[in-house]
Structure 1
């Protein structure tokens, strides 16, 4: 294996760029390392496709489903491909957990959950869902695929990342490095967007994969406040060996209720500055938004995350010219039936041999069914109690979810036939106003009166989710707002809310990281204890057989005073 390349210090002098303004209104200046201060890209040890040849080998994908923790799992990838997605990523995988040396048992479990190789379906060219196995495509058989596929890892150690990527390289088209996760868990684990201050480390992470893997490496980044720094950052990723760069047009601070609009102009600037393909990420809420994104950014593909979760047919193109069971109000409203889509997803889950995490199913349904659950709020509890039974096979594993969808469909049929919801309600139901009557401007800043951005979509159709900003209120207004929140919590006590599953994937991964840290600590303590025992056995004995009073190490040197272990 080639030695790691020498990379410049993060504090090495370079260009300066204005990076927004300080609280006092003065410009904040960042130092940008010179591109030439980084080593040459280097030549891979394996013959593999690069840049545009790699992009074309995957069919020149334009519609891309993002890597999403506990959400872009195998059945969801299959469902998304059926409705127009050209390329799909796995959920983000923690490289350190994936090759955990502290515990073989926990490593095996984490690998099976996050990229199951034993069933032979993840990364398969052909999956026959008639019997849940990979076979040659046969006439009349129900076949799907898990290609093209990029496997995404988060990491902060090049050797660990390489070891993890080598496990999956034969079951995917490429490996992606997560440089965009803005969540607390990424800060604590020092990965994702929290590497943005350490360009030398990022260069090493990408370059070691570029040099040593059999498949290409790609990267997904966030932007800086400064356009200049954003461009320099992307060029550094390209020099490190990234063959495709995905640009999420939001900064690290733009998340949750502070998400705001992605900056398509910064994505366009990156596209014009690098020579490799670029995917644009951000502001994809309506089925036609990806066309606007390509036109504005000139990107080579468009990635959707939340837009896909709330409507897995967001990339469906062309839409049916008339109504179908899946698109009952097409072509006027190009949005799929919630229950038809949910049942198709369950069909895939039941047919696969690869187990699907119950947490993934539940999270998908809370998002997909969100509009209907705003009207039929009591059904949240039924969904919250639904379970995936891994001890059973096929339909038996998901019967509680089928029962939930059947009851939801029964109620939605009554709603459709009543005609009550053909237009917005004069008096919206509590909690549903922000959903049934979305804001007058969509995420890309365009008026929703545009033909493909209807202001009203009936609650039985999958549709965009508008995350409301948190109001800044003080004094009596703030007190009244807090009182209203308490009342809402009281009214919905015992029910599962959409916000309850927003961080479920993050919390799940955080627990796994904490378990790994605990195992490593116990392993280290065990090694310390073993060394102490070996040293004690080798000490000279006094006449009464006790260890000599003068403590020595195994090699006879004076033993230093033992200090408390710091992890």
Structure 2
């Protein structure tokens, strides 16, 4: 199971998600069985201007490999320069964001807006491919809207420009994250190119992952929103692909231990003040499905120091302790 010269540890990949797939969460997901991960997107323009926050997002360590750093932008030269600068972190690959649908990205001709300019997509891939000696991958969408569904054509152009793999989200830009992902669009890309294809969209369990692989012929599955607060999904996918049965759900003790480790790692890296602000959303996601979840999510939004977290988790444990 390879992308270029990268040997993946499995077929399940952690998707890039801004504000979610940070250093600490990638580490947790890799430990839970993710075979590969992609960082939060980083602005190529910001890297050109030596923005410290952007470089901080891109920092890697050997606990979370293999991993790609994802960049976004719309200027081939700027993107190539950014990719070169990121080589100091020794990424296993550089991933190009051609799928982000949010207005502040797509509104500036970056992200999914690139789907409207297939030739530019190829120019960006070619420039980065020439600039770095690691595989260059691309994440695209089904298309811009229902009148411009061109994922197979864009994928082919990217392949010809040197892309080592293509990830396809089966929704258009205009759909954002609503409706159902069109897995047929992933299948169409797989039939259009020779390089590995990564399917993305509505993979919410091991069973769904197996179904996507079967229905589309894609080589890997990418998990995004379904992994928020649920890193155990990677264990479930691996177990289902291996044995055809779901993984055993984590116990309450295991859930709390993972939450602690995640947030402690986050604070250790970013400092307790900033780390706890970033932790609030993660902690709230972890509580879905537990007793008292609504009140616990409210309290998660007020976390300021690690002791706040420990007190909250003690209360969660008492409310959900198995008899």
TM category, shorter: 0.7 to 0.9
Q: Does 2:184 match 1:250? A: no
C-alpha separation in 1, matches of 2:199 and 2:99:
13
The alpha carbon displacement at 1:227 in A equals 9.3
C-alpha separation in 2, matches of 1:182 and 1:207:
23
In structure 1, the residue matched to 2:12 is: 63
SS of 1:214's equivalent in the other structure is coil
In structure 1, the residue matched to 2:71 is: 153
Bigger Rg, structure 1 or 2? 1
In structure 1, the residue matched to 2:297 is: 380
CA pair 72-342 structure 1, distance change in 2 beyond 3 A: farther
The alpha carbon displacement at 1:339 in A equals 6.1
Deviations 1:225-251 (A, max 9, x none): 479733212111111221100011111
CA pair 385-244 structure 1, distance change in 2 beyond 3 A: same
C-alpha separation in 1, matches of 2:223 and 2:246:
23
In structure 1, the residue matched to 2:210 is: 291
In structure 1, the residue matched to 2:308 is: 400
In structure 1, the residue matched to 2:258 is: 344
In structure 2, the residue matched to 1:109 is: 53
Contact 1:65–1:89 at 8 Å: present in 2 too? yes
C-alpha separation in 2, matches of 1:221 and 1:93:
16
The alpha carbon displacement at 1:110 in A equals 3.4
C-alpha separation in 1, matches of 2:215 and 2:246:
25
Contact 1:343–1:405 at 8 Å: present in 2 too? no
The one of 132, 149, 164 equivalent to 2:82 is 164
Contact 1:67–1:89 at 8 Å: present in 2 too? yes
In structure 1, the residue matched to 2:105 is: 186
In structure 1, the residue matched to 2:287 is: 369
In structure 2, the residue matched to 1:24 is: none
Contact 1:339–1:408 at 8 Å: present in 2 too? no
SS of 1:275's equivalent in the other structure is coil
C-alpha separation in 1, matches of 2:147 and 2:191:
16
The alpha carbon displacement at 1:214 in A equals 1.8
Deviations 1:171-226 (A, max 9, x none): 21000000111112213333100122122222221110011112111000001347
Contact 1:339–1:405 at 8 Å: present in 2 too? no
Aligned runs of 1:218-233 on 2, under 5 Å? 218-224=137-143, 225=146, 229-233=150-154
C-alpha separation in 1, matches of 2:252 and 2:15:
21
C-alpha separation in 2, matches of 1:283 and 1:53:
23
Contact 1:220–1:247 at 8 Å: present in 2 too? yes
SS of 1:96's equivalent in the other structure is helix
The alpha carbon displacement at 1:99 in A equals 2.8
Tell which deviates more after alignment, 359-368 or 300-309: 359-368
Tell which deviates more after alignment, 89-98 or 350-359: 350-359
In structure 2, the residue matched to 1:354 is: 269
C-alpha separation in 2, matches of 1:204 and 1:180:
16
In structure 2, the residue matched to 1:238 is: 159
In structure 2, the residue matched to 1:280 is: 199
C-alpha separation in 2, matches of 1:232 and 1:369:
42
C-alpha separation in 1, matches of 2:195 and 2:147:
21
C-alpha separation in 2, matches of 1:303 and 1:297:
13
C-alpha separation in 2, matches of 1:309 and 1:318:
19
C-alpha separation in 1, matches of 2:261 and 2:71:
29
The alpha carbon displacement at 1:351 in A equals 5.0
Give structure 1 stretches of 5+ with no counterpart: 1-51, 117-121, 126-144, 320-330, 389-397, 418-567
CA pair 60-234 structure 1, distance change in 2 beyond 3 A: farther
C-alpha separation in 2, matches of 1:159 and 1:213:
13
Deviations 1:377-398 (A, max 9, x none): 333332111025xxxxxxxxx2
SS of 1:72's equivalent in the other structure is coil
**Aligned pair count?**
310
Deviations 1:257-297 (A, max 9, x none): xx111111111111111010000001111232211111111
Aligned runs of 1:499-538 on 2, under 5 Å? none
Deviations 1:524-549 (A, max 9, x none): xxxxxxxxxxxxxxxxxxxxxxxxxx
C-alpha separation in 2, matches of 1:279 and 1:226:
24
C-alpha separation in 2, matches of 1:80 and 1:87:
9
In structure 2, the residue matched to 1:141 is: none
- Name the structure where helix makes up a greater proportion of residues: 2
TM-score w.r.t. length of structure 2: 0.87
